Amino acid sequence: MEVKPRSWRDRGLQAATLPLTTVLMVFFLVPLGLTAVLSFQSTRYYRLVWTWDLDTWVDVFTHVHYWSIMAQTITMAAACVALCIALGLPVAYAMAHRVSTLEHHITVLIVFAFLTDAVLKTFGWVLFLDRSGVLNGALDAVGLGPAATDILFTPSATLLGMVYNLLPYTIFTIYLSLVRIDRDLVLAAYDAGASKTRTFLEVTLPLARPGIFAGGVLVFVLSLGVFLEPKVMGGGTSPMAAELIRQSFETRVNWPLGAALTLVVITIGAGTLGLAALVLMRLSGRREATR
Cα 77 to Cα 172, 216, 258, distances in angstroms: 19, 10, 21
pLDDT at 22 > cutoff 90: no
pLDDT at 1 > cutoff 60: no
Query: How far, in Å, CA of 93 to CA of 16, rounded?
Result: 37
Identify the sign of the CA torsion 75, 77, 78, 82: positive
Domains delineated in the chain: 54-289 (1.10.3720.10)
Which residue, among 223, 222, 210, has the nearest Cα to 173 in the 3D structure? 210
10 Å Cβ neighbour count for 144?
A: 12
Q: Which residue has the higher pLDDT, 108 or 81?
A: 81
DSSP state of 235: T
Tens-place pLDDT, residues 136-188? 888 877 777 666 677 888 889 999 999 999 998 999 899 889 988 888 888 88
Q: What is the mean pLDDT of residues 79-93?
A: 93
Q: What is the mean pLDDT of residues 189-207?
A: 87
Q: Per DSSP, which regions of the chain are E strands?
A: 42-44, 47-49
Give pLDDT, residue 145: 65
Q: Is 250 exposed, middle or buried (0-12, 13-18, 19+ CB in 10 A)?
A: exposed
Strongest mean pLDDT among 84-88, 120-124, 213-217 = 84-88
Confidence band of 245 (pLDDT split at 50, 70, 90): very high
- Quick check: 51 and 42 in contact, CB under 8 A? yes
Give pLDDT, residue 291: 58
Q: Is 154 exposed, middle or buried (0-12, 13-18, 19+ CB in 10 A)?
A: middle
Tell me the whole-structure pTM to 2 decimals. 0.84
Beta bridge partners, 48, equal 43
% of the chain surpassing 90 pLDDT = 29
- What average pLDDT is seen over the chain? 85
Strongest mean pLDDT among 16-25, 31-40, 107-116, 278-287 = 31-40
Query: How far, in Å, CA of 58 to CA of 247, rounded?
Result: 19
Query: How far, in Å, CA of 223 to CA of 215, rounded?
Result: 12
Give pLDDT, residue 195: 86
Tens-place pLDDT, residues 57-72? 999 999 999 999 999 9
10 Å Cβ neighbour count for 30?
A: 11
Q: Which ranges constitute the DSSP H helices of 94-154? A: 103-115, 118-129, 134-141
Identify the sign of the CA torsion 253, 254, 256, 260: negative
Confidence band of 280 (pLDDT split at 50, 70, 90): confident
Three-state secondary structure call for residue 238: coil
Query: How far, in Å, CA of 34 to CA of 40, rounded?
Result: 10
% of the chain surpassing 70 pLDDT = 92
